[in-house]
Amino acid sequence: MECTTVTLSGDFAVHDGAFLEKLKDDQPAFGLCDVRVSIYRDGPGGTGKTFLYLTLLANIKSRGMIALAFASSGVAATILPGGCTTHSRFEIPLQANETTITNMCKQGGGGKLIRQAKLIIWDEAPMAKRHIIETVDRSFRDIMDNNAPFSGKVMIFGGDFRQVLSVVPKSTRAKTVNASLVRSYLCTLMEKIHLTSNMRARADSIFCEFLLRVENIEESTIRDNLIQLPQQMMVQATGDSKLEECLVRKVFPSLQQNYRSSKYITERAILANRNEYVDNLNEMLITQFPGKQEHISALTRWKMIPTISIKKNS
């Protein structure tokens, strides 16, 4: 697969000045884009990671240069202009190890794109195994004929190690950490920048402080690493209602009157850590939708049945 050049739309160049004025003091990564450096930008959700990315991308675009943006997951890539997944952009092998390189051709479109890029942003980097990031590093050095980390390209890695790390099937905590970016030789070569101001939830400072304490393992525990949730975050069963029913009513009040509103539906969600919980909650919500329920069967298995053709003599 050959990569094609992806630049930002003109809208971002127009808003470049507005982005610059709104940057907070704890976002110094912006000033490092004119030097050759690898940066890891750490910050919990809501601290302005995406806003910083957009500002950096807008600035590079306004100067007539190429910037690339991608993420470790497809969901994260959708919020970046021109974004795509790392495997798609760099043609990374599915089984990366200490010696693998990407499938990008040095003289092809992918190699040309890397040579022209002024800035490369990699969001949700903690979700990628270190071997994947190291594979990209080796390929950059080969494409650019430069033995500096990532061939001297300005790389912005973003993410939050307090959240989901790379998935290692049937592993221990130590093995999962060992597979992450923090155990890579590249990690020590990166400039570390920490974002702390939660812009998304700044109206609720108490919740922000509580969330940071939990993520930094600073919240006091009851026993066995269990913490006490604040009372305002809890939903209690009332009367003969089940706890799940109370939770559904709390999150989706007046569902039968608002189920046609896309704004109402997209502004709320219930997260669960097991598929069986998700199925039960979804079934509970579906039964509240007005109208007649219809079951449509789908073919999930098929079996090849041999047939014999007999030709009769005329």
* Cβ-count burial 6-24 (b if 16+ within 10 Å, e if not): bbbeeebbeebeebeeebe
Please state the φ and ψ torsions of residue 239, each to the nearest 5 degrees: 60, -135
| Distance in angstroms (rounded) separating the CA atoms of residues 40 and 150 | 13
DSSP for 82-132, written as a single string? T-EEHHHHHT--SS--SS---S--TTSHHHHHHHHEEEEEEETGGGS-HHH
| Distance in angstroms (rounded) separating the CA atoms of residues 61 and 55 | 10
- The confidence score (pLDDT) of residue 232 equals 81
Residues in the chain, total: 314
- The confidence score (pLDDT) of residue 10 equals 33
- The confidence score (pLDDT) of residue 263 equals 92
* Cβ-count burial 148-164 (b if 16+ within 10 Å, e if not): ebbbbbbbbbbbbebee
* Range list of β-strands (E), 224-276: 226-227
**Residue 180, CA distances (Å) to 74, 154, 167, 231 in order:** 19, 21, 9, 35
182's tokens? 């923090």
- End-to-end, the C-alpha distance of the chain in Å comes to 56
CATH superfamily of 10-194: P-loop containing nucleotide triphosphate hydrolases (3.40.50.300)
Domains of the chain: which residue ranges?
10-194, 205-286
Is the C-alpha dihedral spanning 105, 109, 112, 118 positive or negative? negative
Q: At what angle do helices 275-286 and 243-251 cross, to 10 degrees?
A: 70
Helix boundaries (H) for 120-172? 130-144
11's tokens? 């809208």
pLDDT digits (tens, 9 = 90+) for 109-167: 889 999 999 999 998 888 999 999 999 999 999 999 999 999 989 888 888 887 778 88
**Residue 124, CA distances (Å) to 45, 114, 157, 302 in order:** 11, 20, 8, 39
- The confidence score (pLDDT) of residue 132 equals 94
Helix (H, G, I), strand (E, B) or coil at 259: coil
Q: What is the pTM of this model?
A: 0.66
- The confidence score (pLDDT) of residue 48 equals 65
- The confidence score (pLDDT) of residue 305 equals 67
Below-70 pLDDT ranges, the chain: 1-48, 195-204, 300, 302-314
- The confidence score (pLDDT) of residue 122 equals 92
